[in-house]
A and B are shown apart, each in its own frame.
Chain A
Amino acid sequence: MRINRGAFLFAAVLVAATIAAAQAGKETAGQTLSGTSLSVPAEALLNGAAVWDQVPAHRISLNRTPPLYDTDESASLEIPLLDVRVVRAGGKVLVQMSWADSTHDSASLPEVPNTPPETRFRKVPTEAEDRFFDAVAVMFPEKKGAITPSLQMGDAEDPVQIYYWNAARGPMLMEAAGRGTTRTTGGSFAAHGAYEKGRWTVTLALPDLPAGTPLAFAIWNGSQKDRDGRKYFSVWQVLR
């Protein structure tokens, strides 16, 4: 497919910004995300609203990717902000993301156990083959250290891991080493998502990442036909 010229420009600007920041000896990341350490089992935190209220939220600006292909419909910035809370507990980094979304794009799908994550759901079709579902993901470099790989799914030298959660299909572990290389690993992780009063709150259990690890966030808004690189994204943030 012919890539939209705007997408090329966008990639060029990202690269230029990364190089400029590297030359200046600065991090390209946005703000730092300080994790709150709690001695509570990770499982309890996945659905523990009361505890999360004690954890400070970091408000992160989201950007929309430009139309990637000439045939794409344009989309407006409906979700400008993402609230992120981070807790270290039980040998996990729990990341809770919360954002306002006026449309609840989800489907209730009964689960079939003992099948790969991507085919786990056997369901009565929603009979809406033109629907897309809300989703969220956290991306971080596979290698330890404070290197920030390309925001476009990492690069060959610095592959990334992606903890992806979809409102219809649940959590899926993915990896990538550059744009167009994203693939599901078949692995999964603990996650919990809830939609209430026009707001998504999704908690993902990440592995115990060291301080200084860069994290990037992405949101897909189903009603805006988001999937693939058509999404909201943040620049790199640094975990503390």
Chain B
Amino acid sequence: MSKHQYAMVMDLNKCLGCQTCTIACKKLWTDRDGTGYMYWNNVETRPGMGYPRQWDRIGGGWKDGQLQPSPLPSMDDYGHAWEFDYEQRLYEGKKKPVMASPTPKSGPNWDEDVGGMNGDENYFFYLPRICNHCTYPACLEACPRKAIYKREEDGIVVLDQDRCQGYRYCIKACPYKKIYFNEVTGKSEKCIFCYPRLEKGEVNACAAQCPGRLRFVGLLDDPESPVHKLVRVHRAALPLFPEKGTQPNVFYVPPFNPPKRGNYDKSILEDSRLPLDYLIYLFGPEVRDVIERLEAELKTAQAGGRSELLQLLIGRDAETRYRIKPEVVQIKV
């Protein structure tokens, strides 16, 4: 068990789906050879396929203390990169429109904004995803090389590139499919929670760049940190797929879930636009209580009262949203 645990809370009500976090991460960490298809941070539309395609149904994680089987996602599941034939169209006399090759069939963010239908009403929301830096990482347990370890000082799960032999048991074991294999180096890679930034007192790149200001970062065990307050005190944020058994340390404030059109005076859970069953699928049955708590806070604020939780969720400045303690990494272990 780590001495401390860094955690992130993402407020899904504030996510714009702009992918600025994705690009911040990509520019910083995965612009090397062999990392083209890697998105340590991605934002997917829910309901939707996700990235890699159907990752939430593939397998992995824990059940009754045992690792669960899973196939390796194939490149079809990530989507093959394509090129456009500008050369032929612009310089070689091709008359037909510019075409992509190979024909795109899937890719990151492939089904953006498609969502689902509830009767005649469309619904969707964005789900930003990074490695969950789990308390019980299935990837760590699965690695016969002991290449994956959880930093004792801050709970960040990292993958030692010197020890990794590219066996990919970790990718199978991760129920969130957040580890990627680099064909060029022959080793697997994953989100490092920007630990080199945290060690300098800077927040994660994905959080720093987020125009929606939806990310909160701090130590889960630090009573002053926003993540502690949101997760432990207000109990307003939940992990994704808690039943996978890895105990994620990334938490989500669920979407407020507005009522259907024309039902504006109704309660959020009464005739909701976004089926509650789908939120229960993602965040477990506790999501109902969380939404009710959020609605009560909203009513307080609407009636002119003051909601500490909503003030925190607004997160006006960096001091509110982040509490980075570079000194924790100086603990000698």
A residues with a Cβ closer than 8 A to B are 1-2, 68-71, 73, 118-119, 121-123, 125-130, 169, 180, 183, 227-229
Report chain A residues within 8 Å CB of B167: 227-228
B interface majority secondary structure: loop
Does B78 contact A129, Cβ atoms closer than 8 Å? Answer: yes
Chain B residues closer than 8 Å to A121, beta-carbon distance? 184, 186
- What's the least CB distance linking A6 to chain B, in Å? 15
> Could you say which interface size class chain B belongs to?
35 or more
Which residue in A68, A127, A130 is a CB contact (below 8 Å) of B80? Answer: A127
Interface residues, chain B, with chain A CB atoms under 8 Å away: 33-34, 36-37, 66-75, 78, 80-81, 141-146, 163, 165-169, 172-173, 180-181, 183-186
Cβ–Cβ < 8 Å partners of A180 in chain B: 144-146
A123, A130, A183 — most chain B CB neighbours (10 Å): A130
Chain B contacts of A125 at CB under 8 A?
34, 36, 183-184
Structural contact, B186 and A128, CB atoms closer than 8 A: no
CB atoms of B144 and A71 under 8 A apart: no
The verdict on A69 contacting B72 (CB below 8 Å), with A118-B186, A123-B184, A129-B183 known, is no
**Cβ of B74: which chain A residues have Cβ within 8 Å of it?**
128-130
18 more CB-based (< 8 A) A-B contacts, given A129-B75, A129-B180 = A1-B143, A69-B144, A70-B66, A71-B70, A118-B185, A118-B186, A119-B185, A125-B34, A125-B183, A125-B184, A127-B80, A128-B75, A129-B73, A129-B74, A130-B75, A183-B163, A228-B144, A228-B167
14 A-B pairs in the complex with CB atoms less than 8 angstroms apart: A69-B144, A71-B68, A71-B69, A71-B70, A71-B172, A73-B69, A118-B185, A119-B185, A121-B184, A125-B34, A129-B72, A129-B180, A227-B167, A228-B167
Q: How far is the CA of A123 from the CA of B145 in the complex (A)?
A: 25
Judging by beta carbons under 8 Å apart, are A130 and B67 in contact? no
**How far is B165's CA from A169's CA once the two chains are assembled, in angstroms?**
12
Question: In whole angstroms, what is the CA distance A160 to B181 when docked?
Answer: 29
- Return chain A residues, CB-CB under 8 Å to B145: 180
CB-CB nearest 5 A-B residue pairs? A130-B72, A71-B69, A125-B183, A127-B75, A129-B181
Chain A residues, Cβ within 8 Å of B66 = 2, 70
- Are A69 and B67 touching (Cβ within 8 A)? yes
**Among the listed A1, A73, A118, A122, which residue makes an inter-chain contact with B142, where contact means beta carbons less than 8 Å apart?**
A1
Complex Cα–Cα for A73 and B169 (A): 12
Are A71's CB and B166's CB within 8 A?
A: no
In the complex, the answer to whether B33 meets A122 with C-beta atoms within 8 Å is yes
List chain B residues, Cβ under 8 A from A118. Answer: 185-186
Instruction: Write out the residue numbers on chain A whose beta carbons fall within 8 Å of the beta carbon of B67.
Output: 1-2, 69-71
Which residues does chain A contribute within 8 Å of B165, judged by CB atoms?
227-228
| Closest beta carbon of chain B to A133's beta carbon, Å | 10
Residues in A neighbouring B81, C-beta threshold 8 A? 127
Q: How far is the CA of A229 from the CA of B143 in the complex (A)?
A: 12
Which of A1, A2, A122 has the most chain B CB within a 10 Å cutoff? Answer: A1
Residues of B within 8 A of A127 (CB): 75, 80-81
Verify B169–A1 contact, CB threshold 8 A: yes
Known: A2-B66, A69-B67, A128-B75. A123 touches B183 (CB 8 A): yes
Contact A122 B70 (CB under 8 A): no
Residues of A with C-beta under 8 A to B185: 118-119
Instruction: Report yes or no: B181 in contact with A1, Cβ–Cβ below 8 A.
Output: no
